[in-house]
Structure 1
């Protein structure tokens, strides 16, 4: 079983006419939906509003085959994210987060021994008091031996003290088995210029991998995907050609697809991730890239189902 921990929210996505359409979202939520649609046994850990948006979020989890026994419900409102789209389909976000349900998650205590992997990231590791709760779960599950996966999915506008956040991020790395992040997030976390070359990013990523993760996966936008393996090898796959509608949920789909692929190969452990060879990583990244391309081909975070990727 895979548990994905973090926020569920509603993206308000602009249409061609300028109207804002509500769509289910949130980085961890999208990861759970992506993994569930690809057939992995996955459950979602969060606090979700009892409002109408919250009901729809939970219904969609269940429709994707995601377990909801770890979902807490509360009277607080649902977090909202207003999405702005650039001409290339890339997204920027403005958030409404004060007093919302997801940041008030309660510590569930130790997860069942059947849980082999736990995924974390995005707003849930920034907004208190929930951030401290998820951090405790991360450290506890790593100590128990579960594969912990992290996608920081940085939202700088919500980070009031960047230096403190960067220090906190560094403190998580010894407890992380699989780190996945975008090249832009890597530059921000490393305080590199936005146009810093990829070689400079890889130098920093090597330091991060040496701090704990068995492997680090980088999403490179139009340049595809790469992984820095436990053997210090960089493996790349090219992008999948696609007519981009928007990029909402693309990175989350990569994370969910990787977790589903690792589950299918019985590789949900740091040791197994460290032992993947070039051919296996190429297959994993190719599958993740194909899934993300399908997400980019439609509006909002709509990860594909297994049959769309030729899975039986």
Structure 2
């Protein structure tokens, strides 16, 4: 099993440009959150997946749980709370790129607590986005990351940096660097890398997403592989990076490489296959509005 740990929230996504004379576009609620999208994408790819989080008991929370169930994701490690669900208001640029404003004060996912030991069959744990920023839950997610890494499990980290949520940029960058020795696979966008001060050393492998320029992996063992993006008419980029996370984990699992040692042993051709799968999956997500990752049958 792969366990994804982090927030589940509701994206409020513009349906279309504002009507003539209207100051704002109509917004539609969509199930979201970086870790949540990653878990959904893994489930749709047929990978045994669990989600570890704290979700509101409100109607949005019920919908989020239903979405996980529909994707076949195990929710045994999901706690519920009476606080409201976090909201993220998305704005989509002319090129399909998405920006967000977050409404996260006093929401359920911020009160996440360290869970009991994960199932013995857990091979990897994925982390990222708001969950590692917003306290007090961020410290609990950090403790989980360190615990699972020390237990020998593959740890994927996607910081998916949201600067408006980070009150002290320098403190966050220092904290981020402290996680790197415990990370097996780091996924960064070019924007993440620029904000963090460059592509760091430390993890077993670093995958850099470069938008229309494709994806690149660099491993501690010296492997350097790039693949092109798959051309597509972009509806928006919501969930594309989360889909990359899922496809990377799924591709590594299919090759028996979902472990620190397995990734270290993967040759350039193996990495090229994994990155190509991730590029194809991300393109499908970009081709439709909102975070709608593909199913395994769509990838052939």
Q: TM-score, normalised by structure 1?
A: 0.92
Contact 2:6 2:128 in 1 (8 A): yes
Q: CA offsets, 1:221-275, max 9 Å, x none?
A: 1101010123223210001010000000000000011111122222211111111
Distance 1:140 1:32 in 2: 20
Q: CA offsets, 1:124-177, max 9 Å, x none?
A: 000000000000000000000000110000000110000000000000001101
Distance 1:227 1:66 in 2: 28
Contact 2:224 2:268 in 1 (8 A): no
Contact 1:40 1:264 in 2 (8 A): no
Q: CA offsets, 1:28-67, max 9 Å, x none?
A: 0001011110011110000001111111101011111111
* Large movers: runs of 4+ above 4 Å: none
Give the aligned CA root-mean-square deviation in angstroms: 0.9
> Is residue 263 of structure 1 aligned with residue 233 of structure 2?
no
Which is worse superposed, 297-306 or 17-26? 17-26
> Is residue 90 of structure 1 aligned with residue 90 of structure 2?
no
Contact 1:214 1:271 in 2 (8 A): no
Residue 39 of structure 1, aligned match among 41, 46, 51: 46
Distance 1:26 1:297 in 2: 19
Distance 2:108 2:178 in 1: 26
Mind listing any 5+ residue stretches in structure 1 that lack a counterpart? 191-203
Q: How does 1:1-312 map to 2 (within 5 A)?
A: 1-16=1-16, 17=18, 18-190=25-197, 204-205=198-199, 208-209=200-201, 211=202, 213-310=203-300
Q: TM-score, normalised by structure 2?
A: 0.96
SS in 2 for 1:243: coil
Q: CA offsets, 1:285-304, max 9 Å, x none?
A: 00001000000000000000
Aligned length: 293
Distance 2:151 2:269 in 1: 30
SS in 1 for 2:247: helix
Distance 2:294 2:37 in 1: 11
Distance 2:291 2:299 in 1: 17
Q: After TM superposition, give the deviation of residue 111 of structure 1 in Å.
A: 1.6
Mind listing any 5+ residue stretches in structure 2 that lack a counterpart? 19-24
Q: CA offsets, 1:52-94, max 9 Å, x none?
A: 1111101011111111000111111000000001000000000
Q: CA offsets, 1:176-206, max 9 Å, x none?
A: 011011011001001xxxxxxxxxxxxx43x
SS in 2 for 1:128: coil
Distance 2:13 2:56 in 1: 20
Q: After TM superposition, give the deviation of residue 9 of structure 1 in Å.
A: 0.2
